[in-house]
Amino acid sequence: MTYCLGIVTRDGLVLASDRRTNAGLDQVNKVRKMHILERPGERVFTLLTAGSLSCTQSIVTLLQQDFEAGRGMAAADTFYEAVREVGRRVREVAELDREALERDNFTFNVSIIVGGQIRNQPHELYMVYPQGNPLRAAEECPFLQIGEVKYGRPILDRGVRFEKTTLTDAAKYALISIDSTMRSNLTVGPPIDMWVYHKDRLEMRQVRVFEEGDTELISIRQEWERHLRQAVQALPAIRFLEEADGND
């Protein structure tokens, strides 16, 4: 499995992903699922991929070849068009591989998160479905997730707001969301890749890898659990009708 997420706020973007990949529980590897396409000062895209590694590799390879040759996402006039290029490559690889996969009961289940910016345009966050169609993150729900999405969702639902969440805090939310997922699902695991993008910078800059045993990751996890327990203790006790009848 995999867990990737993107957060968009007024000030920029945070994208993060784990590196665990597995075919069953006994064939576990580490593979980077974050891919950066960049022309500093002009445009920057970060892609996060979930699903069959064989298929996502093909898609990213085709997009990178295009980008380096000045085609595809490098030539798109708008962010929307760039995301459509991703969808076009998703469909192309589906055309190549889907039938053979389905014959052996595998599904073509590739999902891709795309965040970034083209100069003089807003920063944007999208996901591309296995069918190649794009979905844009909205201010009302300023995050997108792919892969093992459920465990990491509650903290994002409760905390992240487009207008009010700073990028510094958005990075913490992303890390907590991934840490919650790792804790509850063995097939998501470190290293974690994180990219924080301040709008209008138009280059990657703030990239961070948290290895297994990263002291900052461990310290944030411990601090977070301590804060959570304190927060629960600080909540008022739930009242029951029968409370009045004794202290036992």
**Residues near a copy of itself (CB under 8 A):** 150-155, 157-159, 168-169, 171-173, 175-176, 180, 183-184, 194, 196, 198, 201, 205-208, 216, 219-220, 223-225, 227-243, 248
Whichever of 76 and 194 has its CB closer to a copy of itself, that residue is: 194
Q: CB-hemisphere CA count at 13 Å for 221?
A: 15
Distance CA 112, CA 178 (A): 17
Shortest spacing between CB 62 and a copy of itself, in angstroms: 30
The nearer residue to a copy of itself, 59 or 194, going by C-beta atoms, is: 194
How far is it, in rounded angstroms, from Cα 48 to Cα 127? Answer: 9
Cα 67 to Cα 203: distance, rounded to the nearest angstrom:
15
Shortest Cβ 99–a copy of itself spacing (Å) = 25
Radius of gyration for the alpha carbons in the chain, expressed in angstroms and rounded: 20
Toward a copy of itself, which CB reaches closer, 71 or 205?
205
Q: How far apart are CA 218 and CA 239, in angstroms?
A: 36
At its nearest, how many Å lie between a copy of itself and the CB of residue 155? Answer: 7
Neighbour tally for 94: CB within 10 Å: 18
Nearest-approach distance from CB 224 to a copy of itself, in angstroms: 7
